[in-house]
Amino acid sequence: MEIGSGGVSVGGVEWAELRALIAGRGPLAVIERLRDVPPEELRALRAPLEALRRELRADRESSRSQLPALQVAGVLAAGTPREALRWLTDRDQLELFRPAAFGDQSPGTRERVLLTLLFLPHRDLEWQRELAVRLTEWLPAGRGQDVWDLAEGLAVRAGADIPVTEGYLTGWVRRGSRRYLSTSWEWDVHEWLGEQGLGPAVQPFGSLLEWLRTRPRLAELVPRLFDFDGLGALLAEPYAHHRGEDNEWPKALVVLTREGRLDRADLLDRTLARLLRGDRPGALKAFTMIYDGLAPTLEETAARVRMYASIAADGAGPAATRAHKALKALDAAGRLDGDVFADLCGAVLARTEKTLVTDQLKLLDKALRRDPARFGPLLATVALALGHPAVTVQERALRVAARHLGGADAAVRDELRAAAETVDAALQGDARTVFGSPAAPEPPSASPLTAPARAMPPELDTPVRLAAGIAALVDGALTDPLEFERVLQAAVALTWYERAATAEALEPLASRRIAEKTEHLSYSHLRRALGCLIETLAGRPRPHWSGARDFLATGTEHGHHCLDLVPIRRVYELTSRLATDPVPCLLAFPTDPDGLIHPDALRRRLTAYATAGAAPWPDDLEQAFLRLPAGTPAGTVAALREAAGLPGTGPGLPVLAKLRLRRHTEHEAALVNADRRVAGAHLVPVFARRDEPEEGSLAATLADLPDPDALFRFRNHGREGGLLGVLWPLVAPAHPDLVAAHAIPRLSMDAGRETGRRANTLLPYLAEYTTGPCGPVTHLALAYGLTAAPAGNRAAAVEALLTLAAHGRLDAERLGELLGRLWLEGVGIPTRFLPALGDAARAGAAHETWTVAVRLLDELEPYPATRGLPAVLTLAAECAALTGGGDEPPVLAQLAALTEPPRVAAEARRLRRVLARI
């Protein structure tokens, strides 16, 4: 039977009538029509309803309004629990369903309607029990609450013994976590069943603790919370504490142990086992909170000492710290077994956490003093701490070794002496004193950074190579801006010389593109622009593409100009001009690997145009002038413009006026307070315009810099920079500060305090594909990159730093000043950028990093209590050791003379000793 047939009767129901009800978006009307139809008559509807579902699935966007009516019809007609499961869990239904279709926006509307259909008299209890089990087994951990409510409602109504799956537990936790919300905003299936007389009466609960006290399966479900990775993230809901401790899962579970509803020993054992297995930090937090709430006694710790030792050795940092603290208390009480203590030394001293290793060194020192004969062999484990990356840990390890070395045998002394050879340069003298090494080693010699020679990639000189090159751009990640440029150059040149062969080579790619139906992409997607170019080269141009370049020139697509649009505009210029206005070559194709065009080369290209009678394309011509070297004489530029038929010397681009600290107003602070990625103040560039470029030109896009006083527009500027930032530097390779200014909003957002996931690839390309001295804005962008939240973005910033240093374009003094300013304003986070600088020093930029560190000390010297200042001194000592020393900066004497904080003075004196010894 055809789905669209009109007067066919299916089991007493006219299909045309039912189809019209579904098309009319009326789920309530469908229910009214079908709920009293006998089940044997509904059976005949199953096949046409399945066919209709397949038909609507092919066009999800236009059919979404029919899905609620289709779903209720499918549920009503379902014969077996398996068929009902398929309708209830259909992907399209779950993703596109809207409760408003039932005329009620209140929570639980859809669930109430569907449960009512599942409770119809012809559904017996066995049928409902089977469906409840099937739904529970299907439940994925990441699914929303709706299907869980259906499974729970069926289980309560039919008395089903449903399995405790990860998906079921996830829904149970989410349901409990919503107990603190107003009932007008939340719906509970148990309360609704009680109101309908379909289950036991349940009173509304005002807190999670009250809700848990009445859960019939509490003792069964709580132990399973520890079995699944990631579930702890739901138990540590970040906003629950605003509604009181009774709404926090960890604290509520501890209270239930005090009340005897949960077994304390079992909860403690499961908590320790979970801490040992580990999990993501956000998921592990809940279990550390449970442990803190239980506050195990000394007797409980002693009974589980091996578990504690394992956590201290292998657990995540917060868990290991708690376990070690408990073992310290056990040792202080004289109840820590010697074998356990020996295992603890070997494991904990190899960890990276400074506090943990330092505490273990203290315990070992006490043990060696208390009983040298018993614990003497453990002195060899100090060698592990001598190799710790933190200088303070190495220093304490040396003191422990020096104190107890006299009673050690020759083998232990040799092992410790070998380990001491790797300690920080500031401690080498102390190590020689302790172990009696006769001579100081030769100071290291730092090899200077060298920039590898680069060459232009070979041209794509055949249509087949052009097809392969453009396919690689469409299907793969864009990693080299010169690859993009040579594709455009080849497309222009081969169309001029070999149009027919080019069309033939591109025909397979064009056919594949049409089959993929990519037209839904907006004009501002590079992939769509390249796809349009493929079809143009294959001889299939479409009329509506001709306006894409002009549309993007207005900035309408993004609401403001953005450097993303420049390369895309240039692609669309090719699609609109190649068929009707071909040219012999691309004027803007770089002649140098850094993206510049030599003036003589541009002159020759313009001459070739004149000889061929070709007129330059506007964007291509303007891009060519933007790629001239910064020092090109004005007369040369004027002559080139005259040859191109352009007046004057071109628009003057904006110049930097100053860097300004931009603080949020009171109103802005309230608006962005919930966004933890946003710092309270940002350092931003302010530019002065010399003249106004022509509207819609590439220069206008380059000059339309983000306005820091328009907060939300500033934050959104360049939001696609992580995707097309690879191509930004070649827009104006002689003006790196202008390019960097477009990236400042995104880079400053990445420097927020929350861990981000967005990759920002601009900085390495900005360093590689621009020329000339880098100004303050480029160094500000680099500073933001070094303090970015994503580790990958910091690595990209280190790569950019090394490239700039190798080319002699890094101003280390300026970078240190900017990092210091960001640090003092709370934007720059030292635990991020100091390790990044250390990586740069070890990669060959030790001289530059030394200069950065010294300038940081100058910036922070008036604020010696600044947290992290000792780490700058440690970094400077490492750089001094790598470079072979240097003059002592004046700030060191001032810091070494401080009495508070003592750590700063100690590190400053250590650095002075390093400089004196080298």
Burial of 527 (0-12, 13-18, 19+ CB in 10 A): middle
Q: State yes or no: pLDDT of 889 exceeds 70.
A: yes
- 76 against 852, higher pLDDT: 852
Q: Which two tokens stand for residue 91?
A: 């992907």
Dihedral angle computed from the Cα positions of residues 689, 692, 695 and 700, in that order, rounded to the nearest 10 degrees: -30
CA distance 202 to 586: 76
Region 829-845: mean pLDDT is 92
Region 515-522: mean pLDDT is 50
Region 804-814: mean pLDDT is 94
Tell me the pTM.
0.72
pLDDT of residue 289: 94
Is 764 inside any structural domain? Answer: yes
Are 799 and 764 contacting, i.e. CB atoms less than 8 angstroms apart? yes
Region 403-425: mean pLDDT is 85
Half-sphere exposure (Cβ direction) of 362: Cα atoms closer than 13 Å: 12
Cβ atoms within 10 Å, residue 5: 12
pLDDT of residue 20: 84
Choosing from 797, 831, 848, the residue where a domain stops is: 848
Task: Report which of 606, 599, 688 is spatially closest to residue 652, judged by C-alpha positions.
Answer: 688
Are 456 and 482 contacting, i.e. CB atoms less than 8 angstroms apart? yes
Task: Report which of 463, 545, 541, 459 is spatially closest to residue 500, judged by C-alpha positions.
Answer: 463
pLDDT band of 719, cuts 50, 70, 90: low
Choosing from 435, 465, 491, the residue where a domain stops is: 435
Q: State yes or no: pLDDT of 513 exceeds 70.
A: no
Q: pLDDT tens digits, residue range 428-478?
A: 778 888 887 654 555 555 556 777 778 888 999 999 999 999 998 888 777
pLDDT of residue 675: 47
pLDDT of residue 6: 43
Cβ atoms within 10 Å, residue 639: 13
Q: What's the alpha-carbon Rg for the chain, to the nearest Å?
A: 35
CA distance 157 to 563: 60
Mean pLDDT of the chain: 83
Is 303 inside any structural domain? Answer: no
Region 189-197: mean pLDDT is 82
Region 110-128: mean pLDDT is 86
Is 261 inside any structural domain? Answer: no
- 898 against 96, higher pLDDT: 898
What total of structural domains would you count in the chain?
A: 2
Dihedral angle computed from the Cα positions of residues 768, 771, 777 and 780, in that order, rounded to the nearest 10 degrees: 40
Are 880 and 886 contacting, i.e. CB atoms less than 8 angstroms apart? yes
What's the Cα-to-Cα distance from 364 to each of 4, 378, 386, 390, 455, rounded to whole Å? 84, 8, 14, 19, 59
Region 708-727: mean pLDDT is 62
Choosing from 419, 435, 451, the residue where a domain stops is: 435
Is 906 inside any structural domain? Answer: no
Torsion sign (Cα): 886, 887, 892, 896: positive
Give the list of residues 6+ apart from residue 508 with CB closer than 8 angstroms, or none. 467
Structural domain boundaries enclosing 806: 659-688+704-848
User: Biggest alpha carbon distance in the chain?
Assistant: 106
Question: Does a cis peptide bond (omega within 30 degrees of 0) precede residue 107?
Answer: no
pLDDT of residue 8: 46
Is 375 inside any structural domain? Answer: yes
The percentage of the chain sitting over the pLDDT mark of 90, rounded to a whole number, equals: 34
Half-sphere exposure (Cβ direction) of 781: Cα atoms closer than 13 Å: 28
pLDDT of residue 666: 52
DSSP element (H, E) containing 685? strand 681-688
Is 35 inside any structural domain? Answer: no
pLDDT of residue 436: 76
Q: pLDDT tens digits, residue range 23-34?
A: 876 778 888 888
- 198 against 463, higher pLDDT: 463
Distance of CA 400 to the CA centre of its chain: 42
DSSP letters, 45-57, are GHHHHHHHHHHHH
Is 784 inside any structural domain? Answer: yes
pLDDT band of 520, cuts 50, 70, 90: very low
Are 437 and 417 contacting, i.e. CB atoms less than 8 angstroms apart? yes
Is 813 inside any structural domain? Answer: yes
Region 85-94: mean pLDDT is 74
CA distance 86 to 71: 10
Task: Report which of 294, 296, 313, 292 is spatially closest to residue 304, judged by C-alpha positions.
Answer: 296
Q: pLDDT tens digits, residue range 200-243?
A: 877 777 788 988 998 888 999 999 999 998 888 888 877 676 67
Q: pLDDT tens digits, residue range 337-384?
A: 888 999 999 899 999 898 999 999 999 999 888 888 888 888 889 999
3-state SS, residue 175 = helix
Q: pLDDT tens digits, residue range 634-660?
A: 899 999 999 998 887 777 888 888 888
pLDDT of residue 115: 87
